[in-house]
Structure 1
Amino acid sequence: MIKKLLIVFIALIAIQSKAQQGGGSPYSFYGIGSLKFKGSVENRSMGGMAVYKDSIHINFTNPATFGDENISTFRNESRPVKYTVGGSHSSSNLESNSSSDKSNTTSFDYLALSVPVGKLGFGFGLLPYSSVGYKLQTYTDFGGVENRYEGEGGLNKVFLSAGYQINKNLSFGVTADYNFGNIQNSTVLFAYNTEEQLLNYQSKETNRSDLSGLNWNLGLHYRGMISEKLEFQGSATYSPESDLTSKNERSISTITISSLSGAETIVNTIDIDLAANNLAETTLTLPAKYSIGGGLGEPRKWFAGVEYTLQETSNFNNPLYANSGTTFEDASKLSIGGFYIPEYNSFSSYWKRTVYRAGLRFENTGLNINNQSINEFGMSFGVGLPVGTPRTPFSNANIGVEFGKRGTTDANLVKENFVNVNISLSLNDWWFQKRKYN
């Protein structure tokens, strides 16, 4: 049954992700796009808080969580092999001082596998790092379109993690991320005659950047009982500054635009020699990132925690583009969240075995436009629904909903009110068993 669910889930995400190109945040115009949350639906349903570690869920944020001790349910011989897949749908209402619009995106979020080897654990998978999807227009004083901006693409990452349990309470881990992808954008400059009528021919600039590079993430995790029932968990991660190689192309086209459909027709195109200005291949800096957090709870019953993340995005630089009025400042995020399980081993009630999650997050995205910091707020709720079998008792389907807002209408900017619906399957199996013979 679980295998069938997994196949259906992947197929649905593969089909729906084609809609991702149709919309997105206008703030993905800047930098390498809108950064995606590196975490599971379980983490996201707790305000993005990723401090908690257990034996049945994969925690992408901290590689130290891959190392752990064997569990009694598996005769103290192993831990479950964990595999998970997730996706999301986002609906946004965009609002400025003069207009409003709507945007919908459906996307694949992650696919990962975790394999235990004694106190050592390995994990690998695929998840998006950033996304670009926008279509923006500016207008002249007389109401005509002045510029049209369009963009799509983003970065993905393949990760390989290893975590080791140093002692009963402390684990250490490291992740290697290979980032790859491309960003494509275009700008159409509309020209008018003295009578404010659109000319027959317009100019269009098209850019493409193919990006690739490696970065690292180091993590520590502590878990220990501080009383008979109360457990403390603490987490810290550090990602050092790293570089991405960007191979760039640029062209200028003369186009015509249909007055009926708005369709563009290319008349001629000239490729720009970026090498002459040392822009054919550039280096983008991925800023260093730090996080620290902790929380208290009763094992298999409840947990509440807080996590703070800082990223030195003020060091971000993209030599290919110079966005007027835009700067980058250090980004930060405060996540508060937790979960509650009424009775994890209840035989009489399915809903008593369900995990109930909730959280809040307050974020400065690191983007500053027209002297306005672009902030983000989210409030999330979620459930973990048991879908296991006697062989796979801990498998679950996770559903989360997040309500939030991003940006402001001040300084002629855009405010987004969004609803994110997230879904994942977190599955497990017992691969490694000691064979016993009578």
Structure 2
Amino acid sequence: MLKRLTKKLTLLFVLLFPVFEASAQEEAYNAYSPYSMFGIGDLSKQGTAWNKSMGGVGIASRNKKYINILNPAAVTAREAKEFKADFGLAQGNRIYRQGDFKSANNTFNIYDFVISFPVYKSIAMYAGFTPYSDLGYSVTSSITDPDLVGVVGNLNTQSQGFGDLSSIFIGAGFSPVKGLSAGVEYTHIFGKLEKQNVLTFSNSSYRSINSGYDLDLKADAVKFGLQYDFPVANKVSVTVGATYKLSARLKGNVVDYEYSVISSVIDTSRSVVTNLSKSDDAIRLASEFGVGINVHEGEKWAAEINYINSDWKSSGMDKVPGFANIGNAAFGVNSYQSLRAGFSIIPNENDIRYYRKRITYRAGAYWDQAYCTLDGNDINAFGVTFGVTLPVKWSISGVTLGVDAGQRGSLKGNLIRENYVNFNIGINICDIWFLKYKYD
């Protein structure tokens, strides 16, 4: 059995290695949005493909077929000797509009890789990686003041940013009594963000000016989770869940630089390195609280609703250079909130005649309020999700296909409206460890 499992994992890593290598060598946008200018960029939606296809719910989910990383207590929902692995890909498509201006962008990226395994009786663990936040934008404009243009010629400005923060995590859960599960997760967050501004002159006698910030960041966070499952009717049960993530201080360095260029000669006018660990202005990742309730009939169907709140107002990101305003964009800090709902159903997972009846069908909806504001306006997003999990033969492994369609921002209050359609692919593998076969 172990030999078969080793072959499967080896094949998986062989398939993934070229993708990891290409991602490491290319400096491309993992995400793209003008709203990612502020702070540490866009916060990534957590969860695997099956979570995303149900509107992002999972705080109260207990499903033996999938790894649920939204609540560390959920890892105890499994067969006693079952090993699980999940690998996800994400592809995004966005159209932006502000006034008469329109643009579009596409991205593609690895989203997660997670494994889960039993430890002892009612104790189980999981480990993996997933994006934490993404930075990606490029804005070009021209200065049209006639008094200034008449003296120095045409002036163009370009602001761009790229990079991401990733998280490596390990968690464990245990079930002390029937129906009750508790868990804890440790996460190490790390990555580099680059924010650049370039001012160029059409008159070659003037120097172009380059400025910006290079952020090399890291943090350590801890998350706790609880779930309680109890029957309410014939075959129908309810699971309530809650999670709490502690606030974490960002560490690392911020380089504030400025230099001018003319005839290939570079003159540095500013290069200041700030050690965040020693700085009086502490930057923190906000604490987070989430609750959820799930009504389900075994693995046949489930309906869930979640609420998440994370107060970033005391994070300090609106005051420290490198995190605060970029160019003329007047960003402010806000509380992140999210309301999510989802539903899933399997017509008949044991049907031997019709494959479509063994497919899991999902749908969901959500509303998000971003952790930043623009010109005092809240940046809200809403969308709907759909997805299916296609079973592989008669195993509990499968391929999940999901779509997320929605809108962020609006055309009011000087905001930019983003319309997006995101596609998610998840591959979940399940196998049994240490199973002693009676026949060879």
Corresponding position: 1:184 with 2:194: yes
Aligned pairs for 1:261-272 within 5 A: 267-272=266-271
The structural deviation recorded for 1:227 is 1.2
Aligned partner of 1:113 in structure 2 is 115
1:43 to partner: Cα distance: 0.5
Moved more, 288-297 or 169-178: 288-297
Are 1:210 and 2:216 an aligned pair? yes
Query: What does residue range 213-224 of structure 1 map to in structure 2 within 5 Å?
Result: 213-224=219-230
- Counterparts of 1:216-365 in structure 2 under 5 Å? 216-255=222-261, 267-274=266-273, 283-318=282-317, 319-321=320-322, 322-323=324-325, 325-365=330-370
**Pairing 1:91–2:97 present:** no
Q: Where does structure 1 lack aligned partners over 5 or more consecutive residues?
A: 71-77, 258-264
> Does the Cα contact within 8 Å between 1:246 and 1:283 map onto a contact in 2?
no
Q: Distance in 2 between matches of 1:394 and 1:85?
A: 15
Structure 2: distance between partners of 1:4 and 1:148: 45
Deviation for aligned residue 1:280: 7.6
| TM-score, scaled to structure 2 | 0.87
Counterpart of 1:394 in structure 2 is 396
CA distance in 2, matches of 1:251, 1:401: 41
User: Which secondary structure state, in structure 2, belongs to the residue aligned with residue 38 of structure 1?
Assistant: coil
2:33 to 25, 39, 48: 25
- Residue type of the alignment partner of 2:197: T
Q: Tell me if the contact between 2:290 and 2:307 (Cα under 8 Å) persists in the aligned partners.
A: yes
The aligned residue for residue 73 of structure 1 is: none
Distance 2:129 2:332 in 1: 30
Q: Which amino acid counterpart does residue 21 of structure 1 have in structure 2?
A: Y
Q: Of the candidates 163, 188, 192, which is equivalent to residue 153 of structure 1?
A: 163
Superposition deviation, residue 388 in structure 1 = 4.7
Q: Which amino acid aligns with 1:37?
A: K
Would the aligned equivalents of 1:23 and 1:135 in 2 still touch at CA under 8 Å?
no
Closer, same or farther: CA 395–163 of 1 in aligned 2, 3 Å: same
Whether the aligned pair in 1 keeps the contact of 2:250 and 2:276 (CA below 8 Å) is no
Instruction: Between 217-226 and 313-322, report the one with greater CA deviation.
Output: 313-322
Alpha-carbon shift at residue 184 of structure 1 (Å): 0.8
Identity within the alignment, %: 27
Give the deviation of 1:255 after TM superposition. 2.9
Corresponding residue of 2:423: 421
The worse-fitting range, judged by mean Cα deviation, of 17-26 and 155-164 is: 17-26
Distance 2:377 2:256 in 1: 30
In 1, distance between residues paired with 2:403 and 2:433? 33
Looking at structure 2, the residues matched to 277 and 80 of structure 1 have their Cα atoms a distance apart, in angstroms, of 43
Q: Which runs of 5+ in 2 are unaligned?
A: 1-6, 147-153
CA drift of 1:268 comes to 3.2
How has the CA–CA distance of structure 1 residues 361 and 240 changed in structure 2, closer, same or farther, with 3 Å as cutoff? same
- Report deviation, 1:206: 3.0
Letter aligned with residue 332 of structure 2: T
With over 3 angstroms needed to count, the CA separation of the structure-2 counterparts of 1:137 and 1:43, relative to structure 1, is same
Deviations 1:1-21 (A, max 9, x none): 966873576257437754742
3-state SS of the aligned residue for 2:184?
Answer: strand
- The structural deviation recorded for 1:223 is 1.8
